[in-house]
């Protein structure tokens, strides 16, 4: 058999006997992974598969996001800024993929979604503990959100732990302080279980970094990477908002939220406000 037959012959060295070897499917647990797409509509509606896979793949990407963000946070704590920024660079690529994914779900028309929406019952992306964990590790903490997971102790514990731990931004600011930047003590000693709020005294710290970038290159680069993280997260939020609006209009969300209006309010939330405020000060 040759290429002239429009086939590609197996090379002699390719393994074909997996009776005693791990193969691709077993390494990735594909039997299990590909069996957990379980439409709830009856009879199963064609487009429900898209809806399930979209959200399952998002959860997998979020799992990787958390893996990388936790590592970046630990590396900042250890003053390993270069490796931390490598982790953050990967996070940014994951964020871009997740944002692009919305275009697939946007092919679901209102009439198609309405055919199986009732099968979701009260389930909603609002109940994703991993998504909430990303918000917490970025610093947008809200203890009241834990009540959503009272019936899921393991997920609640993940969020409870993150609530009491310094955020990624907390660790950046502590790193900057150790590097000689005048981060206010009120920031360094703040209650990390609360959401970070805009602190005007922090803006001059970033202003000095930006206006003396050559002398503070690693800090300068870290600041810009954090701006990218927030920009990407807001792009994701906005694309989510537009996809939901395109699919259900102004109807209430399946989890009981106001839907598009609820998502719109999230766009006003910020993780690293001083990194954006400093832009109005540079060059004055």
Closest listed residue to residue 69, CA positions, set 205, 232, 269, 278: 232
Q: Which CATH architecture has domain 46-247+258-280?
A: Up-down Bundle (1.20)
| Residue, of 265 and 155, whose pLDDT is higher | 155
The reply, when asked if residue 54 is annotated as ligand binding, is: yes
Helix axes 48-77, 81-105, angle to 10 degrees: 170
Q: Taking 60 as the threshold, does the pLDDT of residue 181 lie above it?
A: yes
pLDDT at 55: 96
Tell me the average pLDDT of the chain: 93
Pair 140, 194: CB distance under 8 Å: no
Q: Taking 90 as the threshold, does the pLDDT of residue 263 lie above it?
A: no
Specify the pTM: 0.92
Q: How many CB atoms lie within 10 A of CB 215?
A: 10
| Residue, of 102 and 263, whose pLDDT is higher | 102
Closest listed residue to residue 118, CA positions, set 263, 251, 267, 5: 251
Average pLDDT over residues 7-13: 87
Q: Give per-residue pLDDT as tens, 101-157.
A: 999 999 999 999 999 999 998 888 888 999 999 999 999 999 999 999 999 999 999
Closest listed residue to residue 71, CA positions, set 137, 3, 152, 159: 137
DSSP string, 180-217: T----HHHHTS-TTSPP---GGGHHHHHHHHHTGGGGH
Instruction: Provide the residue ranges of all domains of the chain, joining segments of one domain with +.
Output: 46-247+258-280
pLDDT at 259: 74
Q: Give per-residue pLDDT as tens, 234-250.
A: 999 999 999 989 888 87
Q: Categorize the per-residue pLDDT at 3 as very low, low, confident or very high, splitting at 50, 70 and 90.
A: low
The reply, when asked if residue 209 is annotated as ligand binding, is: no
The reply, when asked if residue 52 is annotated as ligand binding, is: yes
The reply, when asked if residue 250 is annotated as ligand binding, is: no
The reply, when asked if residue 117 is annotated as ligand binding, is: yes
Highest average pLDDT, of 15-24, 29-38, 254-263, comes from 29-38
pLDDT at 198: 96
Q: Long-range contacts made by residues 263-267, C-beta under 8 angstroms, separation at least 24?
A: 263/237, 266/237, 266/241, 267/234, 267/237, 267/238, 267/241
CA–CA gap between residue 120 and residue 20 (Å, rounded): 42
The reply, when asked if residue 51 is annotated as ligand binding, is: yes
Q: Is 117 helix (H, G, I), strand (E, B) or coil?
A: helix
CA–CA gap between residue 112 and residue 48 (Å, rounded): 9
Q: Categorize the per-residue pLDDT at 8 as very low, low, confident or very high, splitting at 50, 70 and 90.
A: confident
The reply, when asked if residue 196 is annotated as ligand binding, is: no
Average pLDDT over residues 36-57: 95
């Amino acid at each position: 058999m040759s290429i002239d037959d429009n086939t590609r012959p197996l090379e002699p060295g390719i393994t074909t006997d997996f009776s005693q070897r791990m193969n691709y499917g077993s390494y990735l647990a594909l039997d299990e992974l590909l069996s957990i797409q379980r439409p709830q509509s009856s009879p199963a509606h064609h487009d429900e598969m898209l809806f399930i896979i979209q959200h399952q793949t998002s959860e997998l990407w979020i799992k990787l996001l958390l893996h990388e963000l936790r590592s970046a946070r630990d590396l900042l704590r250890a003053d390993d800024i270069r490796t931390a920024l490598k982790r953050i660079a990967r996070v940014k690529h994951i964020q871009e993929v997740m944002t692009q994914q919305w275009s697939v779900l946007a092919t679901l028309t209102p009439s198609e979604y309405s055919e199986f929406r009732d099968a979701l019952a009260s389930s909603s992306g609002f109940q994703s503990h991993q998504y909430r964990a990303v918000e917490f590790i970025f610093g947008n903490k809200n203890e009241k959100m834990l009540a959503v997971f009272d019936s899921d102790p393991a997920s609640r514990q993940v969020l409870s732990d993150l609530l009491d731990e310094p955020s990624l931004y907390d660790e950046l600011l502590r790193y900057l302080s150790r590097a000689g930047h005048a981060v206010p003590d009120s920031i360094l000693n703040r209650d990390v279980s609360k959401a970070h709020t805009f602190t005007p005294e922090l803006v001059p710290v970033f202003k000095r970094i930006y206006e003396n970038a050559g002398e503070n290159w690693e800090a300068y680069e870290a600041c810009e990477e954090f701006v990218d993280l927030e920009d990407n997260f807001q792009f994701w939020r906005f694309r989510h908002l537009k996809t939901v609006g395109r699919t259900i209009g102004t109807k209430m969300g399946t989890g009981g939220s106001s839907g598009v209006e609820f998502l719109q309010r999230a766009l006003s939330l910020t993780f690293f406000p001083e990194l954006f405020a400093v832009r109005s000060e540079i060059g004055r």
